[in-house]
A and B are shown apart, each in its own frame.
Chain A
């Protein structure tokens, strides 16, 4: 069966520090991968999506970047965090013929 792993679960980082969140998928190949962010009391905002290794599309200009070094690995990064980067970050995957998207357990990022 397919599983998605996302870590860490919580993270507290000072302003100006770098960020690296990792997401991996098991049990499938060539999935579409996504990074979402959810601010407190708000809906999910699509940040990046990838349809293959090295292929990244950005939905919102921001202080973040994404990379897909391997087929089932998706990384969200920042060189210098801002206070406004705080939020709940979710990784998701979708495969051809699958109904719906599967989300990871999320990372709660607090920038202080």
Chain B
């Protein structure tokens, strides 16, 4: 699986848009980019997945440039409840048999 690099922590305020960028220079042709959210003492929760360009769902948007060597998770109008650890993963995650490799993620802290 391609290695990813993302900031260890970020701070923002309620109502702001938060963008978390992940670098994955060695992404392979078949790799997808997936983001998870984890609250303390809970399992990670799938947020969004994409292959190229832009993907949007009810929770977030994922922006992927043409070279796919990075991706940006965008959380619109964050609230205090968005405080969590966000993981960026790259690989064949559509039911891949060898599991996912999670890094330390980005600890996002939202303040009032």
Contacts and interface: CB of A to CB of B under 8 A. Distances in A.
Interface of A: 32, 34, 36, 42-46, 49, 51, 57, 59, 88, 90, 92, 94-106, 108
19 contacts: A36-B99, A42-B104, A43-B105, A46-B99, A49-B99, A51-B97, A57-B98, A94-B93, A94-B94, A94-B96, A96-B95, A97-B94, A99-B49, A101-B44, A101-B46, A101-B93, A105-B42, A105-B43, A106-B43
Contacts of B105: 43
Given A99-B93, A101-B100, 4 more contacts: A36-B99, A99-B34, A100-B46, A100-B49
A43 B103 contact: yes
A94 B41 contact: no
B41 to A, nearest CB: 7
B101 interface: yes
User: Interface SS of chain A: helix, strand, loop or mixed?
Assistant: strand
A88 to B, nearest CB: 7
A99 B94 contact: yes
A100 B93 contact: yes
Given A42-B104, A100-B34, A49 B41 contact: no
Contacts of A103: 43-45
Contacts of A90: 43-44
Contact of B100 (A46, A88, A96): A46
Interface in B34-74: 34, 36, 41-46, 49
A59 B99 CA distance: 10
Contacts of B100: 34, 46, 101
